[in-house]
Amino acid sequence: MSEIVIVGLNHRTAPVEVRERLAFPADTVGHALRGLREIDGVSEGVILSTCNRVEACVLSESGYGGVESVKEFLAGFHGVPIGELSDHLYHHLGEGAVRHLFRVSSSLDSMVLGEPQILGQVKDAYGYACEFKTIGPVLDKFFTKAFSVAKRVRTETRVANSAVSVSYAAVELAKKILGDLPDKVVMLIGAGEMCELAARHLLSAGAKGILVTNRTFERAVHLAEEFDGTAVRFEELGVHLKRADIILSSTGSPHFILKREDVEAVIRIRRNRPMFFIDMAVPRDIDPDANEIDNVYVYDIDDLNNVIETNLEERQREAALAEEIVVAEVAGFRRWLDSQQVTPTIVSLRRKFDEVRQAEVAKALSALGTADPKTRKVVESLASSILNKVLHAPIASLKREANGRRPMEMVTVVREIFDLPEEEAEGAREGAERASEQGGTIGGQ
């Protein structure tokens, strides 16, 4: 029976030195997909390659045999001895493979739980397989189902809602303290990467404008141009600080840039309009005593990390709900997958008995000699009627179990009782698909 097989490695099973040796750059994916599809017994294939994981997903006609074949393919394609990969590669088969892809797409298997990029990367992998025509009806259904499961997880849980990066945490805090951001002005003190990222997120969230100051004025001008903001000379910081509602600071200064008395003076000028300071520098740039001033809020890097830790704990709690969704969706997909094995079996069953019917009708007509058309019609009708009555019970059972709990058990029993060869399954499946496309029925009585 055909099984879905996934073979790969990820950030938990392999260091970057190994992952990079198995990575598939975009310009090699087409060649790799064609090679994957040419493996004996592999009828469909998809390759997922990100910085944290490399996985090949195939529909294998030989079940577990497909695992070893895909491992050899990954090693051979990259010229890496299989022995050097054996401790890093994992595999998932059948229902385990279904659960794995659903979890990966829902970001439950990511380095950062709930991160959104992985779903786009899985969609890219699916897109490549469609472009190079290595995906068929089973993996197509499998991946599109994985996309819908990921959407359901994001919609019905909060696994991706809370910030787990310093820059996002800064935005989240700003919204909690200041409310809506469209009328708020942001000031960057220094041009550190975290400040820059936080500023981008704040602007994306609707902040009104941005001021940039830096000891090297040219750097401030360059960064201000990127944000369509205004550069301020560092020595004029005190003059322009009153304009800012949100201040992000990350300099290399060994002492405070803004002392408590500096902030007190500015808040008086602002007539107590709130100011939110995010101090990402170590040593700190903002005097922590400024936090004691009314309507002044000072958060340092440890405060942000505490927010992140709290949010990660919330994501972990939400992940438990997401896992329940995945379990339910795996069961539903497994039933669909099993039903795909039922249809070819029904086709094989009818084909075998129809061959018997035709042979026996020919023998009967030969024994009757030159039978007239009416007699010929009676004999053929009798044979067809007996065939349909004999097949009614087993086909009805197969159809009933296609939506039940044990379709594969029924398929196995029927194939053993009626001695249906496995090699007919693929041909029967194609016949069933053609019949369906032509509006025909399979095994109808």
- Annotated catalytic residues are 51
The DSSP string of 112-161 is: STT-SHHHHHHHHHHHHHHHTT---HHHHHHHHHHHHHHHHHHHH--TTT
Task: Give the side-chain half-sphere CA count within 13 A for 190.
Answer: 23
3-state secondary structure of 435: helix
CB 339 within 8 A of CB 399: no
Task: Give the side-chain half-sphere CA count within 13 A for 315.
Answer: 23
For 41, the token pair is: 């017994």
Nearest to 137 by CA among 444, 426, 445: 426
Peptide bond into 283 cis (omega under 30): yes
Q: How far apart are CA 309 and CA 312, in angstroms?
A: 5
For 126, the token pair is: 């699916």
DSSP state for residue 317 in the 8-state scheme: H
Nearest to 257 by CA among 232, 276, 231, 283: 283
Sign, CA dihedral 378-379-381-385, equals positive
CB 9 within 8 A of CB 53: yes
42-49 and 90-93 strand pairing = unpaired
